[in-house]
């Protein structure tokens, strides 16, 4: 059997594995052993699966492959943020970020290679979408960043945010599978309340999250609370306007009871005025929520600038006067292009970058 005809074993569920073993007259309890090697022990090859018979390991090697990512570059910011570039195949690279504070370690992970949404304030939006990541490739980022946190800070991850490259809800199946694996006993056993999935706003998929009764947190990248402004910076708003998003978020909350986080990148002379704050407060009342105000991080040839600290504080004060829960998020990892909106494989070789950007 050629390598191209092998199947990715990490695409199989535990039930799928059990059915496969029965079809080849192997004992079904082996499925749980394999599953633990794949997800809890993060095995790189079948040879490592030492509690399986040698001939069975050889059979698995002939039939399947394991789709692991490989670290290709690592940068460390002066504030301790770590940006990792992962190779996931010929000329394809994604990035994940470890953001440590005194009490927390947060992994910011990617869900796609590139992005199709073209948000004007985001470097990743300038890349073409090449493909979705598999659930295994998503989980691998968490595993690596967890090990990085343990090694450097003596603690595992406290939070996981799907806020890296790509739109998670356009890779719905694999994103949900990855969260299930991360939270399962056979995986990392992480509480779903420590996981946040961020979306640019795809109304029908937000409703589907509600129908699927997900337990993780949901964040909406809002950035403007009127359609005219949001259309200018986020193409997705043309087909998923604020009225549709409000309806979808209400539906999601009614199904799950989970409070929404609104993310709002504040841009100088664009969405930093008092009227913008009042519009945001009015829109945010559609569901129980909190609002994260995020300072803008510069990207090459970007058309926006960072709003002044005074404007940001005044903006937050207006929201608080409307009884909103507000956090001002200061950027970390900006010096290595690891901050919000900056992930774009900027430091890769020209050959790799050319293939991604063309």
CB 117 within 8 A of CB 234: yes
List the beta bridge partners of residue 161.
108, 196
d(CA 289, CA 79): 29
What is the number of other CB atoms lying within 10 angstroms of the CB of residue 198? 21
Which structure tokens are listed for 319?
């929201």
Q: Catalytic amino acids?
A: 95, 340
Q: Which helix (H) or strand (E) holds 208?
A: helix 203-211
Within 8 A by CB and 6+ apart from 299, the residues are 121, 122, 123, 341, 342, 344
Q: Give the three-class secondary structure for 269.
A: coil
CB 345 within 8 A of CB 95: yes
């Amino acid at each position: 059997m050629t390598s191209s005809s092998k199947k990715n074993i990490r695409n199989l569920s535990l039930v799928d594995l059990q059915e496969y073993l029965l079809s080849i007259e192997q004992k079904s309890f082996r499925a749980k052993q394999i599953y633990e090697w794949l997800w809890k022990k993060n095995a790189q090859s079948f040879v490592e699966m030492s509690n399986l018979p040698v001939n069975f390991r050889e059979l698995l090697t002939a039939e399947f492959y394991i789709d692991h990512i490989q670290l290709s570059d690592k940068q460390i910011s002066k504030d301790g943020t770590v940006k990792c570039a992962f190779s996931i195949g010929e000329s394809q690279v994604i990035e994940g970020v470890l953001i440590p504070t005194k009490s927390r370690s947060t992994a910011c992970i990617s869900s796609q290679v590139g992005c199709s949404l073209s948000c004007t304030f985001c470097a990743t939006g300038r890349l073409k979408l090449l493909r979705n990541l598999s659930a295994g490739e998503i989980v691998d980022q968490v595993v690596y960043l967890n090990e990085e946190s343990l090694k450097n800070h003596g603690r595992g991850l406290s939070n996981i945010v799907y806020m890296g490259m790509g739109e998670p809800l356009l890779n719905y199946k694999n994103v949900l599978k990855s969260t299930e694996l991360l939270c399962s006993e056979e995986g990392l056993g992480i509480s779903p309340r420590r996981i946040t999935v961020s979306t640019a706003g795809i109304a029908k998929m937000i409703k589907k999250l509600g129908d699927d009764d997900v337990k993780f947190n949901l964040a909406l990248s809002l950035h403007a609370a009127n359609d005219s402004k949001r259309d200018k910076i986020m193409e997705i708003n043309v087909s998923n306007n604020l009225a549709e998003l409000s309806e979808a978020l209400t539906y999601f909350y009614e199904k799950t009871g989970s409070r929404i986080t609104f993310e709002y990148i504040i841009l100088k002379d664009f969405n930093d005025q008092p009227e913008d704050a009042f519009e945001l407060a009015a829109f945010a009342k559609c569901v129980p929520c909190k609002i994260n105000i995020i300072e803008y991080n510069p990207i090459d040839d970007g058309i926006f600038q960072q709003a002044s600290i005074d404007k940001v504080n005044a903006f937050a004060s207006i929201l608080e006067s409307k009884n909103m829960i507000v956090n001002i998020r200061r950027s970390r990892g900006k010096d290595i292009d690891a901050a919000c909106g900056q992930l774009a494989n900027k430091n890769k070789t020209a050959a790799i970058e050319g293939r991604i950007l063309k």
